[in-house]
Chains A and B, each alone.
Chain A
Protein backbone atom coordinates (compact mmCIF):
# COMPACT_ATOMS: atom_id res chain seq x y z
CA UNK A 1 0.00 0.00 0.00
CA UNK A 2 1.65 3.25 -1.13
CA UNK A 3 1.33 6.44 0.88
CA UNK A 4 -1.09 9.08 -0.34
CA UNK A 5 0.66 12.00 -2.02
CA UNK A 6 0.55 15.47 -0.47
CA UNK A 7 2.55 18.59 -1.32
CA UNK A 8 5.42 19.04 1.16
CA UNK A 9 4.47 22.58 2.00
CA UNK A 10 1.78 25.25 1.69
CA UNK A 11 1.55 28.76 3.00
CA UNK A 12 -0.69 31.77 3.30
CA UNK A 13 -1.01 35.06 5.10
CA UNK A 14 -3.33 35.53 8.06
CA UNK A 15 -6.92 35.73 6.86
CA UNK A 16 -6.17 34.03 3.56
CA UNK A 17 -7.10 30.49 2.53
CA UNK A 18 -4.85 27.54 1.87
CA UNK A 19 -5.81 24.28 0.19
CA UNK A 20 -3.91 21.01 0.58
CA UNK A 21 -4.34 18.11 -1.81
CA UNK A 22 -4.17 14.39 -1.08
CA UNK A 23 -3.88 12.10 -4.09
CA UNK A 24 -4.43 8.37 -3.96
CA UNK A 25 -5.91 5.72 -6.19
CA UNK A 26 -9.21 4.01 -6.99
CA UNK A 27 -8.37 1.56 -4.20
CA UNK A 28 -8.33 4.16 -1.45
CA UNK A 29 -9.30 7.83 -1.84
CA UNK A 30 -11.29 7.27 -5.01
CA UNK A 31 -12.97 4.12 -3.84
CA UNK A 32 -14.45 5.26 -0.53
CA UNK A 33 -15.79 8.41 1.11
CA UNK A 34 -13.64 7.73 4.14
CA UNK A 35 -10.93 10.38 3.93
CA UNK A 36 -9.80 11.97 7.18
CA UNK A 37 -7.50 14.90 7.89
CA UNK A 38 -5.26 15.42 10.91
CA UNK A 39 -3.45 18.43 12.30
CA UNK A 40 -0.20 17.88 14.17
CA UNK A 41 1.71 20.54 16.06
CA UNK A 42 5.37 19.86 16.91
CA UNK A 43 5.76 17.34 19.67
CA UNK A 44 2.03 16.69 19.86
CA UNK A 45 -0.25 13.82 18.89
CA UNK A 46 -2.37 14.26 15.76
CA UNK A 47 -5.81 15.83 16.06
CA UNK A 48 -8.73 14.74 13.88
CA UNK A 49 -9.99 17.73 11.88
CA UNK A 50 -12.14 16.14 9.15
CA UNK A 51 -13.63 12.68 8.67
CA UNK A 52 -15.74 11.09 5.94
CA UNK A 53 -14.29 13.61 3.44
CA UNK A 54 -16.08 16.70 4.75
CA UNK A 55 -17.44 16.20 8.27
CA UNK A 56 -16.02 18.12 11.23
CA UNK A 57 -15.79 16.65 14.72
CA UNK A 58 -17.29 18.70 17.49
CA UNK A 59 -15.02 21.60 18.40
CA UNK A 60 -13.25 21.93 15.06
CA UNK A 61 -13.77 25.42 13.62
CA UNK A 62 -15.80 25.70 10.44
CA UNK A 63 -12.78 27.38 8.86
CA UNK A 64 -11.68 23.82 8.11
CA UNK A 65 -13.44 22.12 5.23
CA UNK A 66 -12.87 19.02 3.14
CA UNK A 67 -13.84 17.80 -0.30
CA UNK A 68 -13.03 15.08 -2.80
CA UNK A 69 -12.97 14.69 -6.55
CA UNK A 70 -12.00 11.38 -8.05
CA UNK A 71 -8.78 10.13 -6.48
CA UNK A 72 -7.89 13.48 -4.91
CA UNK A 73 -9.15 14.84 -1.61
CA UNK A 74 -8.58 18.39 -0.41
CA UNK A 75 -8.48 20.25 2.87
CA UNK A 76 -9.12 23.98 2.84
CA UNK A 77 -8.31 26.23 5.76
CA UNK A 78 -10.06 29.56 5.40
CA UNK A 79 -9.28 32.69 7.38
CA UNK A 80 -5.83 31.43 8.30
CA UNK A 81 -4.76 32.05 11.87
CA UNK A 82 -1.36 31.76 13.48
CA UNK A 83 -2.41 28.65 15.39
CA UNK A 84 -3.18 26.87 12.10
CA UNK A 85 0.55 26.61 11.43
CA UNK A 86 1.15 22.86 11.72
CA UNK A 87 1.65 19.66 9.76
CA UNK A 88 -1.43 18.21 8.12
CA UNK A 89 -1.92 14.58 7.12
CA UNK A 90 -4.67 12.89 5.19
CA UNK A 91 -5.74 9.31 5.65
CA UNK A 92 -8.06 7.02 3.74
CA UNK A 93 -9.74 3.70 4.22
CA UNK A 94 -8.17 1.36 1.66
CA UNK A 95 -10.49 -1.63 1.75
CA UNK A 96 -10.09 -5.00 3.48
CA UNK A 97 -9.96 -3.22 6.85
CA UNK A 98 -6.75 -1.41 5.89
CA UNK A 99 -5.84 2.27 6.05
CA UNK A 100 -3.23 4.47 4.42
CA UNK A 101 -1.84 7.87 5.38
CA UNK A 102 -0.55 10.75 3.36
CA UNK A 103 3.01 12.05 3.20
CA UNK A 104 2.14 15.21 5.11
CA UNK A 105 2.06 18.94 4.36
CA UNK A 106 3.66 21.66 6.43
CA UNK A 107 1.43 24.72 6.53
CA UNK A 108 3.17 28.01 7.25
CA UNK A 109 1.30 31.17 8.19
CA UNK A 110 3.34 34.01 6.75
Chain B
Protein backbone atom coordinates (compact mmCIF):
# COMPACT_ATOMS: atom_id res chain seq x y z
CA UNK B 1 0.00 0.00 0.00
CA UNK B 2 1.45 3.32 -1.08
CA UNK B 3 1.52 5.68 1.86
CA UNK B 4 2.99 8.94 3.11
CA UNK B 5 3.07 9.38 6.89
CA UNK B 6 3.92 12.78 8.32
CA UNK B 7 5.21 13.87 11.69
CA UNK B 8 2.95 15.23 14.39
CA UNK B 9 1.53 18.65 15.15
CA UNK B 10 3.88 21.50 16.04
CA UNK B 11 3.45 24.72 18.01
CA UNK B 12 6.08 27.38 17.41
CA UNK B 13 6.81 30.94 18.47
CA UNK B 14 7.09 33.70 15.86
CA UNK B 15 10.61 33.81 14.45
CA UNK B 16 11.25 30.13 15.09
CA UNK B 17 11.70 27.32 12.56
CA UNK B 18 9.72 24.15 12.03
CA UNK B 19 10.78 20.90 10.38
CA UNK B 20 8.15 18.45 9.14
CA UNK B 21 8.95 14.90 8.02
CA UNK B 22 7.20 12.68 5.49
CA UNK B 23 7.97 8.95 5.42
CA UNK B 24 7.11 7.08 2.25
CA UNK B 25 6.31 3.41 1.89
CA UNK B 26 4.92 1.04 -0.70
CA UNK B 27 6.76 2.45 -3.71
CA UNK B 28 10.24 3.23 -5.00
CA UNK B 29 11.03 6.40 -3.07
CA UNK B 30 13.61 7.67 -5.54
CA UNK B 31 11.32 7.32 -8.55
CA UNK B 32 9.22 10.38 -7.73
CA UNK B 33 9.84 13.95 -6.65
CA UNK B 34 8.28 14.93 -3.35
CA UNK B 35 6.16 18.06 -3.23
CA UNK B 36 5.02 20.13 -0.27
CA UNK B 37 1.71 21.98 -0.19
CA UNK B 38 0.10 23.93 2.62
CA UNK B 39 -3.49 24.80 3.43
CA UNK B 40 -4.38 27.71 5.64
CA UNK B 41 -7.46 26.75 7.70
CA UNK B 42 -10.63 27.48 5.78
CA UNK B 43 -8.69 28.56 2.72
CA UNK B 44 -7.11 27.08 -0.37
CA UNK B 45 -3.81 25.42 -1.04
CA UNK B 46 -0.40 26.94 -1.65
CA UNK B 47 2.22 24.96 -3.51
CA UNK B 48 5.54 25.33 -1.70
CA UNK B 49 8.00 23.38 -3.82
CA UNK B 50 9.54 20.01 -4.59
CA UNK B 51 12.68 17.99 -4.06
CA UNK B 52 14.28 15.42 -6.35
CA UNK B 53 15.18 12.47 -4.09
CA UNK B 54 18.00 11.34 -6.35
CA UNK B 55 19.88 14.60 -6.87
CA UNK B 56 18.58 16.56 -3.91
CA UNK B 57 17.74 19.34 -6.34
CA UNK B 58 14.88 21.60 -5.32
CA UNK B 59 12.48 24.14 -6.75
CA UNK B 60 10.48 26.47 -4.55
CA UNK B 61 7.51 28.70 -5.03
CA UNK B 62 8.47 32.35 -5.19
CA UNK B 63 6.68 33.12 -1.92
CA UNK B 64 8.84 30.66 -0.01
CA UNK B 65 12.23 31.18 -1.60
CA UNK B 66 14.87 32.04 0.97
CA UNK B 67 12.77 30.72 3.84
CA UNK B 68 12.20 27.05 3.05
CA UNK B 69 14.59 24.11 2.91
CA UNK B 70 13.72 20.66 1.61
CA UNK B 71 15.92 17.65 2.25
CA UNK B 72 15.85 13.91 1.75
CA UNK B 73 17.13 10.85 3.60
CA UNK B 74 16.86 8.05 1.06
CA UNK B 75 18.10 5.47 3.58
CA UNK B 76 14.79 5.79 5.43
CA UNK B 77 12.61 6.98 2.52
CA UNK B 78 11.86 10.24 4.29
CA UNK B 79 11.52 13.80 3.03
CA UNK B 80 11.78 16.88 5.20
CA UNK B 81 10.50 20.43 4.87
CA UNK B 82 11.89 23.16 7.10
CA UNK B 83 10.36 26.63 7.19
CA UNK B 84 12.22 29.45 8.89
CA UNK B 85 11.33 32.83 10.38
CA UNK B 86 7.80 31.76 11.12
CA UNK B 87 4.97 34.27 11.48
CA UNK B 88 1.31 33.81 12.37
CA UNK B 89 0.58 33.72 8.64
CA UNK B 90 2.42 30.38 8.51
CA UNK B 91 -0.20 28.72 10.70
CA UNK B 92 -1.48 26.04 8.36
CA UNK B 93 -1.81 22.36 7.57
CA UNK B 94 1.28 21.19 5.72
CA UNK B 95 1.09 18.23 3.33
CA UNK B 96 3.65 16.23 1.44
CA UNK B 97 2.36 14.91 -1.87
CA UNK B 98 3.63 12.53 -4.52
CA UNK B 99 3.14 13.45 -8.17
CA UNK B 100 1.57 10.91 -10.51
CA UNK B 101 3.93 11.63 -13.36
CA UNK B 102 1.35 13.78 -15.14
CA UNK B 103 1.46 16.95 -13.04
CA UNK B 104 -1.20 15.73 -10.63
CA UNK B 105 -0.69 14.63 -7.02
CA UNK B 106 -2.10 11.18 -6.37
CA UNK B 107 -0.72 10.34 -2.94
CA UNK B 108 -0.93 12.74 0.00
CA UNK B 109 0.29 12.57 3.56
CA UNK B 110 -2.21 12.99 6.36
CA UNK B 111 -1.08 16.56 6.95
CA UNK B 112 0.82 18.21 9.80
CA UNK B 113 -0.75 21.16 11.57
CA UNK B 114 1.73 23.90 12.40
CA UNK B 115 0.54 26.61 14.75
CA UNK B 116 2.56 29.80 15.16
CA UNK B 117 1.60 31.75 18.23
CA UNK B 118 3.24 33.89 20.85
Contacts and interface: CB of A to CB of B under 8 A. Distances in A.
- Whether A and B are associated in the same complex: the answer reads yes
Interface of A: 1, 3, 32, 34, 36, 38, 45-48, 50-52, 55, 57, 89, 91, 93, 96-104
Interface of B: 35, 37, 43-47, 50, 59, 61-63, 95, 100, 102-106, 108-111
A104 B62 CA distance: 21
B106 A48 contact: yes
11 contacts: A34-B104, A36-B104, A48-B105, A48-B106, A91-B45, A96-B59, A98-B47, A99-B35, A99-B103, A101-B46, A104-B44
A51 B102 contact: yes
Q: Which 4 A-B pairs have the closest CB atoms?
A: A51-B104, A34-B103, A36-B104, A101-B45
A45 B47 contact: no
A45 B104 contact: no
Nearest to B33: A97
B103 to A, nearest CB: 4
